[in-house]
Structure 1
Amino acid sequence: MLRRHFAPLRWCCLLLLASLAAGCAATRTTTAGRVGVDREQTMLVSSNEVNRAAAKAYQETLREAQGKNLLNRDAQQLARVRQIAARLIPATAAFRSDAPAWRWEVNVIRSRELNAWCMPGGKIVVYSGLIEQLQLSDDELAAVMAHEVAHALREHGREKAGQAAGVNTAAAIGGALIGAYFGIDSGLGRTVLGTVGDLAFMRPNSREMEQEADRVGIELAARAGYDPEAAIRLWEKMGRTVGGRPPEWLSTHPANETRIADLRVYAERVRPLQEAAGRTP
């Protein structure tokens, strides 16, 4: 009975998402590279809009860190991170011809947080805790940074923003339909649909994006002359450090075991690129 009642609603939501997707043509943000990442992406927001917002957020982050005297505290650490970035940036041309000319910025924030990120347009931050607590080698640090740069090359932030807008719109309209059909609060229906959309659509897509960043990142690091197997060692360290992870199907990131198994395959595939760059482990 309930299945029959919900069928029209389900199709309404699916048609809504399809109409949103149809408004923007599928695009390829990067070439496939040696790792073969060639998934077409549907973008519902413009790159200019996302880049402007990212640049503003980046500057606000730097101002806040500087105000707390946490920005670029260790000159040697900063120089090390920027030297790695200087090798990675030219290698981005293998995936996007425009990327080396982005307005790249690289900074280090003093924090115990195990984190690093690259905003759209090449705005990189590495947290000192990641380097110090995991005692990262240059190859391992390059693996982290290359992974984050890969997210920017693939424009995952822009893609995710569009997906979130689509799911939220579908949930809002679907919630109103549920409220009208069953005579209940539309907010309850919107919450239910939003949760289902997150688990069934947003989280799996996040895991797919993480896998793409792993694969593009490992090739990027290899092209810059870094050991691709360092990515495996990095995630083995992370697995020993970060406990209490949720089940993979509830997480936006792949389980460490899944990630490491995939990286082993692609590390072998890109090994010749590191050798061609003139640097071996």
Structure 2
Amino acid sequence: MRRIFALCGVTAALLVAGCQAVNTTTGDSVGVERKQYMFSMLSTDEVNQMYAQSYQQTVSEASSKGVLDNSSAEGKRVQAIAKRLIAQAPKLRPDAAQWQWDVNLIKSDELNANCGPGGKIIVYSGLIDTLKLSDDELAAVMGHEIAHALREHGREAMSKAYGVQMAKQGAGALLGLGQDSLALADTVVDYSLTLPNSRANENEADLLGLELAARAGYNPNAAITLWQKMEAQGGGSQPEFMSTHPASSNRIASLQAAIPKVMPLYQQAPKG
């Protein structure tokens, strides 16, 4: 993080759009306090809009193939859980109340789920069916994914990558890359969904997702059984989720330590 800040300082005179410090999460109970450094040339709205185009393409393709599954009992279940989680998101990030949230279940053997920039959520039925997820465990998955979006981890990773690119090739080359909207849109998708998150970002998503689910009335202890199921799922059916959310030896221990902090929120929250 200090390296990125230094890169911005060195090239500030060359860039019209520079580096800004932002704190995208407020009011959390789990102690996630970290300034994030983002290039202002990659605004939140721009990243959200570019991702929305890719998301809509995915949804449209699923619909044309007949695998968009929002009207089944399982689809309605996903929608209901998402509704409760989304209602609590502004308590962690107030402007999330203005996001154009969207939720879709896709019938697929893929063991995956994600929430892209701006609150675009996709859950694949294989994850639910193969791991036999309870509502609480599904809320833990979705809460974790929503937390990545609330913290703009994809945009942050892009900013780091562009900082390195800027240092290597100069501000002119970087700005030239930024002018290619198609390449930039592809980069948004890559850094938002398909590339592994850093350990720090994973820890933030774990903790904030835990709090979000608790505020929505889902048992925080389900996060433990969720990751136990994830790690136990081996062989050729290893969850795709695990490739972008790698497990670490202290992940469950960190969650267990945070559960007492959010348990009062769960106990106070309306259930159902």
* Shorter-normalised TM range: 0.7 to 0.9
The two structures, once aligned, show a CA RMSD in angstroms of 2.6
User: Which has the larger helix fraction?
Assistant: 1
Secondary structure of the structure 1 residue equivalent to 2:49? helix
The yes-or-no answer on 1:236 pairing with 2:225 is no
**AA at the equivalent of 1:224:** A
How far did residue 97 of structure 1 move?
1.5
Q: Which amino acid aligns with 1:123?
A: K
Return the letter of the residue paired with 1:272: P
Counterpart amino acid of residue 31 in structure 2: G
**Whose radius of gyration is greater, 1 or 2?**
1
* More moved, 39-48 vs 12-21: 12-21
> 2:187 corresponds to which residue?
none
SS in 2 for 1:25: strand
Cα contact 1:118–1:124 (8 A) shared by 2? yes
Q: Which moved more, 1:159-168 or 1:253-262?
A: 253-262
Partner of residue 110, structure 2: 113
Q: 30, 52, 59: which is aligned to 2:25?
A: 30
Q: Partner of 1:152 in structure 2?
A: 149
Aligned to 2:218: 226
May I ask how many residue pairs the two structures share in their alignment? 234
Secondary structure of 1:257 counterpart: coil
Structure 1: 5+ residue runs without aligned partners?
1-11, 174-201, 245-250
TM-score calculated relative to the size of structure 1: 0.76
2:57 is the counterpart of 1:60: yes
The residue identity in structure 2 corresponding to 1:133 is T
Unaligned segments of structure 2, at least 5 residues = 171-194, 237-242
Whether 1:141 and 2:138 are equivalent positions in the alignment is yes
Which whole-Å deviations, capped at 9, do the CAs of 1:184-240 have from their partners, x for residues lacking one?
A: xxxxxxxxxxxxxxxxxx97x721111100000000000000000101100000000
Q: Where does residue 19 of structure 1 map in the other structure?
A: 10
- SS of residue matched to 2:94: coil
Does residue 162 of the first structure (1) align with residue 169 of the second (2)? no
After superposition, what is the alpha-carbon deviation per residue over 1:146-187, rounded to whole angstroms, capped at 9, x for unaligned? Answer: 0011011111111111111122333456xxxxxxxxxxxxxx
SS in 2 for 1:225: coil
2:73 is equivalent to residue 82 of structure 1: no
Q: Which has the higher contact order (CA 8 A, sep 6+)?
A: 2
Given residue 223 of structure 2, which amino acid in structure 1 is its aligned partner?
A
Whichever residue aligns with residue 102 of structure 1, its letter is W
Which residue among 69, 89, 93 is the counterpart of 1:92? 89
Change (3 A) 1:13 1:152: closer
| Matches of 2:4 and 2:88, distance apart in 1 | 42
TM-score between the two structures when normalised by the length of structure 2? 0.78
**Judging changes above 3 Å, is the alpha-carbon distance between structure 1 residues 68 and 171 closer, same or farther for their aligned structure 2 residues?**
farther
DSSP 3-state at the match of 2:50? helix
The one-letter amino acid of 2:198's match is S
What whole-Å deviation, never above 9, does each CA across 1:98-118 have from its counterpart, x for those lacking one?
Answer: 213321110011111111111
Equivalent of 1:269 in 256, 261, 270: 261
Answer whether contact 1:17 1:170 (CA < 8 A) is retained. Answer: no
CA distance in 2, matches of 1:163, 1:18: 14
Whether contact under 8 Å (1:206, 1:252) holds in the other structure is: no
CA distance 1:277–1:16, shift in 2 (3 Å): closer
2:122 corresponds to 1:130: no
Say if 1:17 and 1:167, in contact at 8 Å, map to a contact too. Answer: no
